[in-house]
Chain A
């Protein structure tokens, strides 16, 4: 083609002086930080995530009690100076359990997203690069997976695999794989037409090499955004499975299980389900705010949607 783009302004009338050039594919973290500072909500999300991570790492240092220590003399004690969040029906300190619960819940969130992102990205990249029949078959399988309501699917899988935190995690991860497959495949479809991918073909590169060197690194920006948004909802889903008894089992300190156990005491001992529930809410909101902020940066067209 002879269509030559000489003027730097022609591509986008707003994006002057080559900022877009620096953003063409490579993630310019300096630019991300510059944009992030302009968005108070994203910064709030980042702060929440930072606090949750500190709590996770430092739970033994911060928590006033052992989360599993029984104290039958102080059962269902209301919030006080000794027990800030009160105690549960066997006298365990709820603050300590909520702090330790961050370890379980957030680990589940990261693990779920890690598994679904890892598998989904690889499958999607191959599907998009291969094209043709391979692509059609993979995408039809994904369509089938997507056609089930994802929570129902997770319940069915968790029930089939047995009530256990690891199984619940796997179930949620499997349900999320198609989203990453579709996202990455879309990216791969456009990336495979890029000259640098064609150049790699002319060097004699095999598909695996092309996926590893070119497709995945360049498809990463939207995947990072998607995964950040997903951590919040993975935590929610894991809590929900625990809530209906298909996830974490006693005596694991897990937020969803704590809400579930505290449900019976909601009217008289409001603090029991409320504080774990609040922890879920704040963490999920934190990841979502940060994810929204990242999305605005990587894809400004979606801003405000």
Chain B
């Protein structure tokens, strides 16, 4: 590699940046030094609030000038000083030398302007070209970004495109003036894994072809593993580790990086507690003295009272980490004690009659009413779901957005009435209950939502929120309720001294614990967990997953665990149902389904999940990237148009077929050709 000889395109040196706020000075960045070389893809990883986005935005000075305060440091773009440049000069730089791709493609595109004009506007802004020329270039760019039927897309408005398509349009815009650097801020976080795989591959290929450098910001270490040449790890506004991706991920030198990697469910063994990092990210307005990771670090000692600089790690000279252990004696790092976790829960062996049975559940929503008030059509959210869940068992439901997972959760919770089918809870048909009886039985099944911030009333003190179900179900004295709240808080690992505060004073992980305590208050038998960890950082996710496992062991709860994250489901679930377009396409134990997938869709899903251990190039798992519409359901097998194995017979509706039977666990796959498919061949070095 000639990377060492290549010049630096972006060079940040000792950047320290504060936000003065009414809470005091928030130290967003502390002495950040970072370089992106020509043609290199650099990853910037860290948990939320660690300063990744602030770093990237300061490179093109997008931060509001009035509320930011750069106390020291320099930023250079191709040798030009960014901090001293005037605004006119910066306007010439943005889009031309540096372009940016944001996380939420809908917000980054103007909803009232056609796609074509949005792209040509960028070209016109920076280059003198005729209108026809600009249009031709826009079309060529879109084609290059694998947008099918580019001419039609150019005439469309952003809302007419899918998320993956919008992100391609943004990539086309970003590449339109051949920038020297592309800054991508979590560009695939809002996308489904199958789409993410395609967009990542595209980004990597195009950047390499054009020699564009990329600064790729993400919270996902697996994405970094697959995409980046080198990586910077950030924590609380500090760069704590840097180096070639392979070295950093294979031999992490900083205790934070090590802990972060160990807290990924991908690498742990199923249903064993994960090595969570204790505590939470510090408040940037009130940083601990010395090393910012000290309060959470298992290896913290006296030296950590001072801020460490970056020391070289053993191995590659470019691999450095900001930890005193490296300076003192590199060898002792290996003996960093593992973070202790909750006691190990045994693998449950659920038996008996089903606690919850869903029988041919369908949900459709009417849309577009005509003048008589009759629906013009229906969105088919669920199309015949049969599921059974026994007490003490965890059933994982995986699928991409729009597959009906959340609708399923709402149906089970009786927040939505299904258009067809029966829900039987503990032998009682919920549809036949009177409202008062239904209110009573609701205490036995509870839900934990994805976003802990919006699932707690911001104006309710935490102890009141925890015992809200009890207060609603009966009259109790305040002291009894307080006592109950304290007990429940202890159950989920919250300190009882903080219960008089409001939810916004807690971190995301703590809020999710509060939501779990509230769900446990009425003593339920079943918890519906609707993406309970996807709004959390990985280190916190590990804590919450451990909590779920421990609670299940202690209280014998049954979980319906809904997630888009295959690794999380593999970790926590006994059995797994894979959903696609409102149907279950595969059902079986998690080992069966996720280690030897049968259905072509499950295979595509698993192939798209980025993995840290493997550095194989990403393959395109599906033929077409567009999910079929659930307004006009496809005829025959729903996956037929995207299936790489589609053949004769697929035009007929498919049924769940039993493929094998181990003990009393049937394995079902909704594919008539499942026995004829080639064996699943993805080698998995970590397991």
Is B531 in contact with chain A by the CB < 8 A criterion?
A: yes
Is A217 in contact with chain B by the CB < 8 A criterion?
A: yes
* B165 CB, nearest partner CB in chain A, Å: 15
Most chain B beta-carbon contacts within 10 A, residue among A2, A199, A218: A2
Is A51 in contact with chain B by the CB < 8 A criterion?
A: no
In the assembled complex, the Cα of A112 lies from the Cα of B454 at a distance in Å of 34
Task: Please list 19 pairs of residues, one from A and one from B, whose beta carbons are closer than 8 Å in the complex, sorted by A's number.
Answer: A1-B401, A4-B535, A5-B104, A5-B190, A7-B103, A14-B67, A17-B285, A24-B453, A24-B458, A34-B22, A195-B451, A195-B454, A195-B455, A196-B456, A199-B449, A203-B469, A213-B457, A213-B460, A213-B468
Contact A26 B502, beta carbon cutoff 8 Å: yes
In the assembled complex, the Cα of A30 lies from the Cα of B564 at a distance in Å of 39
Contact A2 B534, beta carbon cutoff 8 Å: yes
Contact among B284, B414, B450, B456 with A17 in the assembled complex (CB-CB below 8 Å): B284
Is A61 in contact with chain B by the CB < 8 A criterion?
A: no
> Which residues in A have their C-beta under 8 angstroms from that of B504?
21-22, 24, 26
> Which residues in A have their C-beta under 8 angstroms from that of B48?
6-8
List 5 additional A-B contacts (Cβ < 8 Å) besides A16-B54, A202-B445: A10-B104, A16-B67, A19-B21, A195-B455, A203-B468
Interface size class of B (residues with CB under 8 A): 35 or more
B451 (CB) vs chain A CBs: closest residue: A195
Is B440 in contact with chain A by the CB < 8 A criterion?
A: yes
A16-B67, A17-B21 are contacts. A196–B457 as well, Cβ < 8 Å?
A: yes
Is A214 in contact with chain B by the CB < 8 A criterion?
A: yes
CB-CB contacts below 8 Å: A1-41 with B: 1-10, 13-14, 16-19, 21-22, 24-27, 30-31, 34
In the assembled complex, the Cα of A2 lies from the Cα of B451 at a distance in Å of 11
* A179 CB, nearest partner CB in chain B, Å: 23
Contact A8 B49, beta carbon cutoff 8 Å: yes
Please, what's the 1-or-0 string for A279-291, where 1 marks a CB less than 8 Å from any CB in chain B? 0000000000000
> Which residues in A have their C-beta under 8 angstroms from that of B375?
none
> Which residues in B have their C-beta under 8 angstroms from that of A203?
442-443, 446, 468-469, 472-473, 522
> Which residues in B have their C-beta under 8 angstroms from that of A34?
22
* B536 CB, nearest partner CB in chain A, Å: 9
Is B53 in contact with chain A by the CB < 8 A criterion?
A: yes
CB-CB contacts below 8 Å: B616-659 with A: none
In the assembled complex, the Cα of A203 lies from the Cα of B438 at a distance in Å of 10
> Which residues in B have their C-beta under 8 angstroms from that of A25?
457-459
A209 (CB) vs chain B CBs: closest residue: B472
A1 (CB) vs chain B CBs: closest residue: B401
Contact B19 A202, beta carbon cutoff 8 Å: no
Contact among B186, B414, B438, B451 with A7 in the assembled complex (CB-CB below 8 Å): B186
Please, what's the 1-or-0 string for B100-129, where 1 marks a CB less than 8 Å from any CB in chain A? 001110010000000000000000000000
A residues whose Cβ falls under 8 Å from a Cβ of B:
1-10, 13-14, 16-19, 21-22, 24-27, 30-31, 34, 194-196, 198-206, 209, 213-214, 217-218
Contact B531 A2, beta carbon cutoff 8 Å: yes
A2-B564, A8-B49, A204-B472 are contacts. A196–B22 as well, Cβ < 8 Å?
A: no
> Which residues in A have their C-beta under 8 angstroms from that of B443?
203-204
> Which residues in B have their C-beta under 8 angstroms from that of A22?
504
In the assembled complex, the Cα of A32 lies from the Cα of B219 at a distance in Å of 34
Contact A196 B454, beta carbon cutoff 8 Å: yes
In the assembled complex, the Cα of A27 lies from the Cα of B459 at a distance in Å of 8
A1-B401, A25-B459, A196-B457 are contacts. A14–B64 as well, Cβ < 8 Å?
A: yes
> Which residues in A have their C-beta under 8 angstroms from that of B23?
19
A191 (CB) vs chain B CBs: closest residue: B457
> Which residues in B have their C-beta under 8 angstroms from that of A196?
454-457
Contact B53 A217, beta carbon cutoff 8 Å: no
* A221 CB, nearest partner CB in chain B, Å: 10
Contact A202 B442, beta carbon cutoff 8 Å: yes
Contact among A4, A14, A19, A204 with B473 in the assembled complex (CB-CB below 8 Å): A204
> Which residues in B have their C-beta under 8 angstroms from that of A200?
468, 472
Contact among B28, B447, B564 with A202 in the assembled complex (CB-CB below 8 Å): B447
In the assembled complex, the Cα of A202 lies from the Cα of B473 at a distance in Å of 11
Contact A8 B53, beta carbon cutoff 8 Å: yes
B445 (CB) vs chain A CBs: closest residue: A202
> Which residues in A have their C-beta under 8 angstroms from that of B446?
202-203
Contact A195 B458, beta carbon cutoff 8 Å: no
> Which residues in B have their C-beta under 8 angstroms from that of A18?
49
B106 (CB) vs chain A CBs: closest residue: A3
* B404 CB, nearest partner CB in chain A, Å: 11
A216 (CB) vs chain B CBs: closest residue: B459
Contact among B103, B401, B459, B468 with A10 in the assembled complex (CB-CB below 8 Å): B103
* B625 CB, nearest partner CB in chain A, Å: 16
* B532 CB, nearest partner CB in chain A, Å: 12
Contact among A7, A13, A27 with B52 in the assembled complex (CB-CB below 8 Å): A7
* A197 CB, nearest partner CB in chain B, Å: 8
A9 (CB) vs chain B CBs: closest residue: B53
> Which residues in B have their C-beta under 8 angstroms from that of A19?
21-23
In the assembled complex, the Cα of A24 lies from the Cα of B458 at a distance in Å of 7
Is B72 in contact with chain A by the CB < 8 A criterion?
A: no
> Which residues in B have their C-beta under 8 angstroms from that of A30?
22
B446 (CB) vs chain A CBs: closest residue: A202
CB-CB contacts below 8 Å: B390-438 with A: 400-401, 406, 413-415, 438
B443 (CB) vs chain A CBs: closest residue: A204
> Which residues in A have their C-beta under 8 angstroms from that of B453?
21, 24
A22 (CB) vs chain B CBs: closest residue: B504
A210 (CB) vs chain B CBs: closest residue: B472
Is B289 in contact with chain A by the CB < 8 A criterion?
A: no
Contact A199 B53, beta carbon cutoff 8 Å: no
CB-CB contacts below 8 Å: B525-565 with A: 531, 534-535, 564
